Amino acid sequence: MDNIKITWVNMDDANCDEQGDGIVIIVEFNNGGGITFTLDSLTGNPLINAVKQGMGGKCYADEKYIRWRNGASLSIKQMMDLVLAETNTQTAGNAVFG
């Protein structure tokens, strides 16, 4: 993961609620891959909570982080962890026990 660099990021808040749940972050990498995730599970970080409430400013990216003007940031590893957590939650919700 050390060789992966962020080339583009966008924050889509068109479908979020008043608490900021539903904001979608779209990230593209220099290897042609990309990920999409939400900030919904990040409730313990006051800076991310401000982002979710629309008080973080526009997001931007350097090679290894997404950053907001209020000082909030996410590393590539944190983004990947969010994607894995969302995937695991969705998979568990679709599980059938017999």
* Prediction pTM value: 0.83
Asked if residue 3 lies in contact with residue 15, where contact means CB atoms within 8 angstroms, the answer is: no
Residue 78 inside a domain? The answer is yes
Residue 98 lies in a domain: no
Is residue 44 a part of any domain in this protein? yes
Look up residue 40 and give its amino acid: D
Domain contains 1: no
> How many domains are contained in the chain?
1
Residue 53 within any structural domain of the chain = yes
Q: Decide if 87 is inside a domain.
A: yes
69/15 Cα distance (integer angstroms): 22
Residue 64 domain flag: yes
Interval 28-78: pLDDT, tens: 999 999 999 999 999 889 999 999 999 998 999 999 999 999 999 999 999
Q: What whole-number distance in Å separates Cα of residue 84 and Cα of residue 56?
A: 24
Structural domain span for residue 52: 6-92
